[in-house]
Structure 1
């Protein structure tokens, strides 16, 4: 049985750790050399191939029909994925379209509401979007899934 590949974020963390170890041992290496080292250790020809595979791996875990939980504009939700595609030119990033189990109100005003039943966004290897609300929270956060795939 093949060992499971790490996530893209875990692979990058391994590269940072290895680079730090090398520097502590008196052999500084570049960031790109550390990424290449991790890619070779995982059995890939180079970092680009490794990053592409790890990005596809994430997209496959977040596949059509999968159930997820998370927060959209700080509102908790559970949902089913109705579209998941790797984001072009951004290894490890996934474009998602979600059908929410219950609508979320994306307005903080008490005077009116704006309920959303479907949302879309792009999340990175760490599970959240690059876009932020005015208080610094990511627009979209996908929480890790339970081992059995339930949210």
Structure 2
């Protein structure tokens, strides 16, 4: 068995748990993860997860120049801090030019620094009332 990612390992654990349940053996998801780790030569699930996480490509890196849209407004900037939150990444961006975080004509709130969580596709799970992600980072490199 060759696992490429944490997602693959969790999928295998789910399949194992289902197969054992069909044979009358009930185990928890945590126990299934531990068994998958052992089958792949790791001491425990935490060790396997760490190993797989290190080998997964990261979409974002410190000091990367990025561009995209924040609350519907185009921006360019630089990643000044980041941390992994499961499959997502929390980013702090320093914008080259401030963007207005308010769409009300008689009021402005200019921001030069944005902190948000984005999925691997560069889109934030948080959305505006019309369903548009708060932050969209262009990860195509174009």
TM-score for both structures, normalised by structure 2: 0.58
RMSD value over aligned CA atoms? 4.4
Query: Is residue 5 from structure 1 mapped to residue 4 from structure 2 by the alignment?
Result: yes
Higher relative contact order (CA 8 A, sep 6+): 1
Aligned partner of 1:48 among 40, 46, 57:
46
**CA offsets 1:46-82 (integer angstroms, 9 cap, x no match):** 1112333445556954221335566655767564322
Q: State how many pairs are aligned.
A: 141
**What are structure 2's unaligned runs of at least 5 residues?**
none
Alignment of 1:1-150 (within 5 A): 5-6=4-5, 8-56=6-54, 61-67=59-65, 72=70, 79-86=77-84, 94-100=89-95, 103-122=98-117, 132=126, 135=129, 145-146=139-140, 150=141
**What are structure 1's unaligned runs of at least 5 residues?**
none
Structure 1 residues 21 and 128, CA gap change in structure 2 (3 angstroms): farther
Larger radius of gyration: 2
Q: For 1:23 and 1:74, how far apart are their aligned partners in 2?
A: 48
Structure 1 residues 22 and 55, CA gap change in structure 2 (3 angstroms): same
The alignment partner of 1:15 has SS state of helix
The alignment partner of 2:63 has SS state of coil
The alignment partner of 1:110 has SS state of coil
- Shift in Å, 1:124: 7.0
